[in-house]
A and B are shown apart, each in its own frame.
Chain A
Amino acid sequence: MRPPRRLSVTRTGRTYLVVTVGVGLGALNTGNNLLYLLLGLLLSVIVVSGVLSERCLSDLTVRRLGAEAAHAGEPFAFRWALSRRRGLAFALTVSEVGAPLQGEGRLAALSAGAEQVVRADLKAPRRGPVPLTAVKVTTTFPLGLFAKSRVFPLEGTLLVYPARGHSCEPVPVSHEGPAGLVGSARLQDGTGDVAGLRELAEGEDARRIHWLKSASTGTLLRTEREREERRSFVLEVDPTLPLAALDRRCEELAAQAQRLLAEGHEVGLGAAEFRLRPAVGPGQLRRLLRALALVGHAPLAQEEAA
Chain B
Amino acid sequence: MSQPARPLAPAFEPTRARAQMERVVHALERVILGKRPQVELAVTCLVAGGHLLLEDVPGVGKTTLAEALARAFRLSYARVQFTSDLMPADILGTQVFHAASATFTFRPGPLFHQLVLADELNRAPPRTQSSLLEAMAQGQVSLDGTSHPLPQPFTVVATQNPVDFSGTYPLPDSQLDRFLMRLSLGHPGPEWEAQLLIRGGGAGALTELVGSSSPEELLGLRALCAGVTVEESVADYAVRLAGATRTHGDIERGASTRAVMGLMAAARARALFEGRAFVTPGDLRALLVPCLAHRLLLRSAVQGAYSREEAAHVLEEVARRVPAPR
Direct contact of A and B (CB under 8 A): yes
By a beta-carbon cutoff of 8 Å, the part of chain A in contact with chain B is 65, 67-69, 76-77, 79, 117, 119, 161, 193-197, 210, 213, 217, 223-224, 226, 258, 262, 279, 281-286, 289, 304, 306
Which residues of A lie under 8 Å from residue B9 when comparing CB positions?
Answer: none
Which residues of A lie under 8 Å from residue B167 when comparing CB positions?
Answer: 193, 226
The answer to whether A289 touches B302 (Cβ under 8 A) is yes
Residue in A195, A223, A286, A304 whose CB lies within 8 Å of B302 = A286
The answer to whether A194 touches B163 (Cβ under 8 A) is no
Residue in B84, B94, B127, B316 whose CB lies within 8 Å of A217 = B94
Measured CA separation A10–B298 after assembly (Å)? 37
With both chains docked as a complex, state the minimum distance between the C-beta of A162 and any C-beta of chain B, in angstroms.
12
Give the residues from 69 to 103 in chain B that come closer than 8 angstroms, CB to CB, to chain A.
84-85, 87, 89, 94
With both chains docked as a complex, state the minimum distance between the C-beta of A13 and any C-beta of chain B, in angstroms.
30
Which residues of A lie under 8 Å from residue B169 when comparing CB positions?
Answer: 281
The answer to whether B305 touches A77 (Cβ under 8 A) is no
Residue in A117, A197, A289 whose CB lies within 8 Å of B85 = A197
B25-33, B34-42, B44-52, B306-314 - the one binding chain A: B306-314
The answer to whether B310 touches A213 (Cβ under 8 A) is no
The answer to whether B85 touches A223 (Cβ under 8 A) is yes
Measured CA separation A161–B300 after assembly (Å)? 12
With both chains docked as a complex, state the minimum distance between the C-beta of A174 and any C-beta of chain B, in angstroms.
24
The answer to whether B300 touches A68 (Cβ under 8 A) is yes
Contact A77-B250, Cβ < 8 Å, known A197-B85, A281-B168: yes
Grouping DSSP codes into helix (H, G, I), strand (E, B) and loop, the B interface class, with mixed when no group exceeds half, is loop
Which residues of B lie under 8 Å from residue A210 when comparing CB positions?
Answer: 85
Number of interface residues of B (CB under 8 A): 31
Contact A194-B84, Cβ < 8 Å, known A77-B310, A217-B89: yes
Question: Closest 6 CB pairs between A and B?
Answer: A196-B125, A282-B304, A282-B305, A68-B310, A194-B85, A194-B84
Asked if B147 is at the interface (CB within 8 A of a chain A CB), the reply is: no
30 of the cross-chain contacts (CB-CB < 8 Å) are: A67-B300, A68-B298, A68-B301, A68-B307, A68-B309, A69-B300, A77-B300, A77-B310, A77-B313, A161-B302, A193-B84, A193-B167, A194-B85, A195-B125, A196-B128, A213-B85, A224-B125, A279-B166, A281-B166, A281-B169, A281-B170, A281-B304, A282-B170, A282-B305, A283-B165, A283-B168, A285-B303, A286-B305, A304-B166, A306-B164
Asked if B236 is at the interface (CB within 8 A of a chain A CB), the reply is: no
Which residues of B lie under 8 Å from residue A284 when comparing CB positions?
Answer: 166
Measured CA separation A76–B164 after assembly (Å)? 21
Give the residues from 102 to 130 in chain B that come closer than 8 angstroms, CB to CB, to chain A.
125, 127-128
Measured CA separation A118–B165 after assembly (Å)? 30
Which residue of chain B lies nearest to A258 when distances are taken between CB atoms in the complex? B303
Which residue of chain A lies nearest to B126 when distances are taken between CB atoms in the complex? A196
- Supplied contacts A217-B87, A285-B305, 7 more A-B pairs, CB within 8 Å: A69-B300, A69-B302, A194-B85, A197-B87, A210-B85, A281-B166, A283-B165
With both chains docked as a complex, state the minimum distance between the C-beta of A9 and any C-beta of chain B, in angstroms.
32
Asked if B193 is at the interface (CB within 8 A of a chain A CB), the reply is: no
Type the 1/0 row for B136-175, where 1 means its CB is closer than 8 Å to any CB of A: 0000000000000000000000000001111111100000
Asked if B317 is at the interface (CB within 8 A of a chain A CB), the reply is: yes
Measured CA separation A288–B291 after assembly (Å)? 31
Which residues of A lie under 8 Å from residue B127 when comparing CB positions?
Answer: 196
The answer to whether A213 touches B125 (Cβ under 8 A) is no
With both chains docked as a complex, state the minimum distance between the C-beta of A159 and any C-beta of chain B, in angstroms.
12
Of the candidates B85, B309, B314, the one having the most CB atoms from chain A within 10 angstroms of its own CB is B85
The answer to whether A262 touches B305 (Cβ under 8 A) is no
Which residue of chain B lies nearest to A121 when distances are taken between CB atoms in the complex? B249
Measured CA separation A208–B304 after assembly (Å)? 32
Which residue of chain A lies nearest to B314 when distances are taken between CB atoms in the complex? A77
Measured CA separation A131–B303 after assembly (Å)? 25
Measured CA separation A248–B301 after assembly (Å)? 22
Measured CA separation A151–B313 after assembly (Å)? 24
Which residues of B lie under 8 Å from residue A193 when comparing CB positions?
Answer: 84, 167
The answer to whether A213 touches B298 (Cβ under 8 A) is no
With both chains docked as a complex, state the minimum distance between the C-beta of B4 and any C-beta of chain A, in angstroms.
41
Contact A65-B309, Cβ < 8 Å, known A193-B84, A213-B85, A283-B164: yes
With both chains docked as a complex, state the minimum distance between the C-beta of B285 and any C-beta of chain A, in angstroms.
14
With both chains docked as a complex, state the minimum distance between the C-beta of A70 and any C-beta of chain B, in angstroms.
8
Which residues of A lie under 8 Å from residue B84 when comparing CB positions?
Answer: 193-196, 226
Contact A285-B125, Cβ < 8 Å, known A217-B89, A217-B94: no
The answer to whether B89 touches A65 (Cβ under 8 A) is no
With both chains docked as a complex, state the minimum distance between the C-beta of B121 and any C-beta of chain A, in angstroms.
15
Type the 1/0 row for B285-305, where 1 means its CB is closer than 8 Å to any CB of A: 000000000000010111111
Measured CA separation A223–B250 after assembly (Å)? 41
Measured CA separation A286–B163 after assembly (Å)? 10
With both chains docked as a complex, state the minimum distance between the C-beta of B244 and any C-beta of chain A, in angstroms.
15
The answer to whether A283 touches B85 (Cβ under 8 A) is no
Measured CA separation A79–B312 after assembly (Å)? 12
